[in-house]
């Protein structure tokens, strides 16, 4: 149908499909959704307006949408062990935006990991809304790449922020959520855990969860969780209607669910994307199955082997390894920049992204590192032996980045490897 009505878009989709089939997708925030998720995403649910929440909509005809959103909410609550979930944020940044809107006043101080040390734009970066409308304070990692909780605590006590974010786009280690919660609460700040990267690993219980430690948990749904592009906000408590008036000595956290729901709608968004909500519900159901735990365990095993093999080829990894699904490679000893390495790898069909490393002497557009990870490769069914081969391919592609003959041969090797691990049933 699309082929006839809009061949330009059809062809671009087909070309992207071929790229995804024939390449090794190693950007750690990307993944391949199941056919079931895709089918929910591509459904007629996109036709419906549903402003409000299940049972409290501003449009008629929402009884089916209510079923879908309620299922998504209940599954999120169960999987992440929380008593409240909002599944309407359009993605991770809107989810974080809603947290600011719900909990802070304009100009309030917010503390988050510095962007160049792996933090996220929305955790208080100067050109982002979070840095423009609020007062950002950034913490850094130690020179060894690990979070320094003592330094973070000292900085938090000095700065007295109203909210502390944890979570990152390029941190290869686990978080001490208990300590972070204690630090935040000791200065009466909110502790918000942005688990966008690790959500699937947390759902599968292969890495620790921030539940009970964080006041609010935000996430995207399309990374390790392997759902459609979307977001969620979770916390404890039940929404009250109307919002409870707060006496002087009341705990403001009692109102968290209502404050968050109101921040999303009517605060920031209109109608939820119901096709996405259905896709999220399907992905959450998948994440509850025993196979998903095996998937998450394999992500970690693959990352460990890939990290060890890369170090065997002389690559320096920030923190000397990984505890999660990603690694950050410091290329300074390899005589190549992150941008050049990204291009060299793309030329052979391996997709990664350039990334700053802690205390990077270079600028973010052409930094000293690359970031890569194993979630998408693991979805394809690749295991430890493929990781060993991929480390070799990466090493050769970077070593021979200026040799087109070698790169052509490496690209053939990548395509051959991919052929053994098909991703789409409808090829």
* 371 part of the active site: no
Q: Is 218 in the site for ligand DSN (CB under 6 A)?
A: no
* 51 part of the active site: yes
Q: Which two tokens stand for residue 87?
A: 């599944």
Which is nearer to ligand DSN, 24 or 45 (by Cβ)?
24
- Binders of ligand DSN among 155-174, rule CB under 6 A? 169
The site map against ligand DSN for 50-89 (x = CB under 6 A) is: ----------------------------------------
Residue 295 beta carbon to ligand DSN: minimum distance, rounded to whole angstroms: 19
Q: Is 29 in the site for ligand DSN (CB under 6 A)?
A: yes
Tell me how far apart the alpha carbons of residues 369 and 270 are, in angstroms, rounded to a whole number.
39
Q: Is 226 in the site for ligand DSN (CB under 6 A)?
A: no
Q: Is 369 in the site for ligand DSN (CB under 6 A)?
A: no
* 139 part of the active site: no
* 194 part of the active site: yes
Q: Which two tokens stand for residue 160?
A: 């007295």
Total number of residues binding ligand DSN (CB under 6 A)? 4
Residue 199 beta carbon to ligand DSN: minimum distance, rounded to whole angstroms: 12
* 229 part of the active site: yes
Q: What are phi and psi of 189, to 5 degrees?
A: -100, 155
Residues 6+ apart with CB under 8 A from 415: 22, 349
Q: Is 209 in the site for ligand DSN (CB under 6 A)?
A: no
* 403 part of the active site: no
Annotated catalytic residue, options 10, 32, 49, 313: 49
Q: Is 120 in the site for ligand DSN (CB under 6 A)?
A: yes
Q: Which two tokens stand for residue 338?
A: 């992150």
Residues in contact with ligand DSN by CB under 6 A are 29, 92, 120, 169
> Catalytic residues, which ones?
49, 51, 194, 220, 223, 229
């Amino acid at each position: 149908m699309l082929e006839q009505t809009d061949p330009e878009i059809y062809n671009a989709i087909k070309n992207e499909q071929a790229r995804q089939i024939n390449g090794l997708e190693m950007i750690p925030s990307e993944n391949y959704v199941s056919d079931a998720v895709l089918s929910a995403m591509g459904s007629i649910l996109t036709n419906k307006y549903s402003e409000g929440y299940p049972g409290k909509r501003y449009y008629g005809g929402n009884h089916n949408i209510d079923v879908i959103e309620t299922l998504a909410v209940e599954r999120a609550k169960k999987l992440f062990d929380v008593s409240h979930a909002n599944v309407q944020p359009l993605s991770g940044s809107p989810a974080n935006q809603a947290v600011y809107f719900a909990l802070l006043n304009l100009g309030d101080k917010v503390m988050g990991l510095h962007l160049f040390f792996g933090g996220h734009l929305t955790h208080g970066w100067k050109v982002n809304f979070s840095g423009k409308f609020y007062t950002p304070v950034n913490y850094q990692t130690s020179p060894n790449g690990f979070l320094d909780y003592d330094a973070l605590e000292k900085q938090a006590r000095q700065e007295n922020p109203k909210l502390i974010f944890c979570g990152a786009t390029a941190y290869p280690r686990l978080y001490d959520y208990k300590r972070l919660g204690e630090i935040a609460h000791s200065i009466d700040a909110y502790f918000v855990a942005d688990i966008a990267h690790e959500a699937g690993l947390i759902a599968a219980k292969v890495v620790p969860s921030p539940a009970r430690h964080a006041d609010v948990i935000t996430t995207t749904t399309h990374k390790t969780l392997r759902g459609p592009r979307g977001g969620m906000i979770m916390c404890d408590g039940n929404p009250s209607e109307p919002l409870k008036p707060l006496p002087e000595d009341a705990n403001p956290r009692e109102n968290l669910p209502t404050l968050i729901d109101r921040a999303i709608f009517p605060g920031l968004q209109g109608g939820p994307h119901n096709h996405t909500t259905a896709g999220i519900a399907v992905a959450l159901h998948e994440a509850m199955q025993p196979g998903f735990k095996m998937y998450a365990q394999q992500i970690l095993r693959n990352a460990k082997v890939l990290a060890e093999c890369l170090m065997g080829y002389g690559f320096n990894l920030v923190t000397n390894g990984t505890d999660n699904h990603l690694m950050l490679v410091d290329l300074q000893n390899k005589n190549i920049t992150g941008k050049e390495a990204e291009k060299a790898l793309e030329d052979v069909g391996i997709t990664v992204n350039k990334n700053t490393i802690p205390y990077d002497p270079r600028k973010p557009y052409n930094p000293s590192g690359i970031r890569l990870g194993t979630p998408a490769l693991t979805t394809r069914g690749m295991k430890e032996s493929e990781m060993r081969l991929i480390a070799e391919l990466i090493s050769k592609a970077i070593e021979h980045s200026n040799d087109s003959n070698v790169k052509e041969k490496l690209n053939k090797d990548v395509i051959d490897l991919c052929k053994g691990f098909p991703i789409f049933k409808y090829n």
